[in-house]
Amino acid sequence: MVVRRDSAVGEQVTDGGRKAAKATKRTTVERAAEQAAAGEKTTSAKRATAAKKAAPPEKAVPAKAAAGKKPAAGNKAAAGKKAAAKKTARPAKATPALKKTTGSAKKTPPVVAKKATAAVKAPPAKTIAATAPKGESRTALVRRARRIDRELAEVYPYAHPELDFENPFQLLVATVLSAQTTDLRVNQTTPALFAKYPTPEDLAVANPEEVEEILRPTGFFRAKTKSVIGLSKGLVEQFGGEVPGRLEDLVKLPGVGRKTAFVVLGNAFGRPGITVDTHFQRLVRRWQWTEETDPDKIEAAVGALFPKSDWTDLSHHVIWHGRRICHARKPACGACPVAPLCPAYGEGETDPDKAKKLLKYEKGGLPGQRLNPPQSYLDAGGIPAPPLGAG
């Protein structure tokens, strides 16, 4: 009985041992499989590492990793890359510039061709005149300007204000009326005005409608009536009925600006002044004495070229030349005494015979603008202007 129980126990132990052995075998097999798998992974990792090491240096390690492992080498590599990038970037920027240059080169030939064609068609005198003043020094400009004035003084030794007047008051009123009309028309109108209103006191209390009727031929007669009556009142109230001899006083009167004031100061008081009227402005720009267009700036620029004592006569010379020869639309270049000194020579008629037909007043054998010109003008062959309504 005991033996059987022991056998049974032995059998039971044997079976458990078998099961444990089997479990041990299975565990050993699984471990072996895991080790084999790990070995395969390790092998594949080694192969991958070897492959990466065998690959080109550019793809082997990223820039950041390389910089982390070898700082000095990384810095050198980065600097090399930046330098290479700059060298590469410069040609890229140069390409548009080359395109632009090429584009401009394509547009340049037609422009040059047009200019060349215009130069061929234009008179030679214009081409010479256009280049003459370039590079002219200040000293050369002063000399040329003064020489032009001397030449004009010989041509117009009788130059004078082309307004008829007997006293400063008449000259002041006549100059105000000359705006937007000719001196001839003013000279034909003022005799009736001064016959009825000879003094500032008379004109200051005049009936505006009667004055307007007298001034109608001069144009803008309502505005001019207001100005002459206003300045007459100003003379009576502020200066005792006398025309002041100072610029700052004259310009305070209605209708009186710097141009009018200098006409009165220079011709009634003998005080030098430059009269910048439309003829003066046109000629000084043609002669390239100045590029200014504002009358006050022109006055300053031209005044700096001449002694102050020459200003009044200079104004007469320039204005007379502009009215007789150097016209606005068709200057008589072929009959101009200062043509060799003029940068604008060739803008008008250069043929002498044709140019002579363009001359006006005494230079063309025609009546002047004054009804009562000075004797020097008559001695030079000048003809008095006809009165209003006399043909």
Give the rounded distance of the alpha carbon of 58 from its chain centre: 60
Dist. CA 176–CA 235, nearest whole Å: 14
**Rounded to whole angstroms, how far apart are CA atoms 227 and 212?**
11
d(CA 295, CA 279): 12
Which position has the token pair 């790990």?
Answer: 38
Q: Which of 233, 249, 277, 356 is catalytic?
A: 277
Segment holding 85, helix H or strand E:
helix 71-121
Q: Where are the alpha helices (DSSP H) in 240-294?
A: 247-250, 258-268, 278-286
**Which among 259, 310, 313, 363 is annotated as catalytic?**
259
CB burial string 125-153: b at 16+ within 10 A, e below: beeebeebbeeeeeeebeebbeebbebbe
Closest to 288 measured CA to CA, from 130, 167, 75: 130
Q: Is 259 a catalytic residue?
A: yes
Which residues are marked as active site?
259, 277
